[in-house]
Amino acid sequence: MPEQDALRNGVRSGEYIPYQEMRARAQGRVDGQMIGSEFDPGTGRYRFKFQRGGSVIWMDMDGRTGREVGRVGQ
């Protein structure tokens, strides 16, 4: 998959933070169960999907800095 190749190459070169580290950061910011994730090589962002009760929360994080850059849901 092109997204996985772009992420793998970016992590090797030091451009992107590894997935496992980003996942841990995301989980530390949301009180809910992670139910999905993806990486967008065009923006360099990770998107994590959480479920909390009957709600779904989408969190976008910058793969270069590790900062949260957007969230939808509560």
**How many Å apart are CA 40 and CA 32, to the nearest integer?**
23
Specify whether the CB–CB gap between 40 and 70 falls below 8 A.
no
Specify whether the CB–CB gap between 4 and 15 falls below 8 A.
no
Q: Is 41 helix (H, G, I), strand (E, B) or coil?
A: coil
CATH class of the domain comprising 2-72: alpha beta
pTM for the whole structure: 0.89
* pLDDT tier at 19, thresholds 50, 70, 90: very high
Instruction: Write down the domain spans for the chain.
Output: 2-72
Dump pLDDT digits (tens) for 20-67: 999 999 999 999 999 999 999 999 999 999 999 999 999 999 999 999
